[in-house]
Amino acid sequence: MEFKKIVLKKKEEILAEIKQISEDTLKKSQKEASGDISGYTYHMADVATDNYDREFSLVLASNERELLFAIDEALKKIEEGTFGICEDCKSLIAKNRLKALPYAPLCVKCQSKKEKK
């Protein structure tokens, strides 16, 4: 199916982005940790790891995590055969919209209604 390929490709992109973010965050944490040359170095390294975990989950909690969730939902819908149907009004979502946003759960009408609220 055509959309499955698009959605899977999008998922790969998001996963690559997440990997990039986590690598950047790790590098930053390591830089901060190595800046400490006192006797607390080992202790500081532990703290840095804690900070890193927290930062990482904070970053992931935002856009990418939501996107990944939406993408998995879209893949589930493809399997179930309900892909491309608006979750709100149950009408078919325009193909052009799905091509741009294959994981969109709502049609344009329902989406703009939701955003106005």
Describe the crossing of helices 41-61 and 63-80 by its angle, rounded to 10 degrees.
50
Cα 94–chain centre separation: 23
In DSSP terms, which residues pair with 85 in a beta bridge? Answer: 92
Nearer to Zn ion, 36 or 88 (CB): 88
Q: Which CB atom, from 68 or from 70, has the smaller least distance to Zn ion?
A: 70
CA 99-97-61 angle, 5° bins: 85
Question: C-beta of 33: minimal distance to Zn ion in Å?
Answer: 49
Which C-beta is closer to Zn ion: that of 15 or that of 89?
Answer: 89
Smallest distance, Zn ion to C-beta of residue 108, A? 8
In the complex, least distance from residue 95 CB atom to Zn ion, rounded to whole angstroms? 15
C-alpha distances in Å from residue 64, one per residue of 20, 36, 100: 12, 32, 17
Give contact residues for Zn ion (rule: CB under 5 A). 86, 88-89, 107, 110
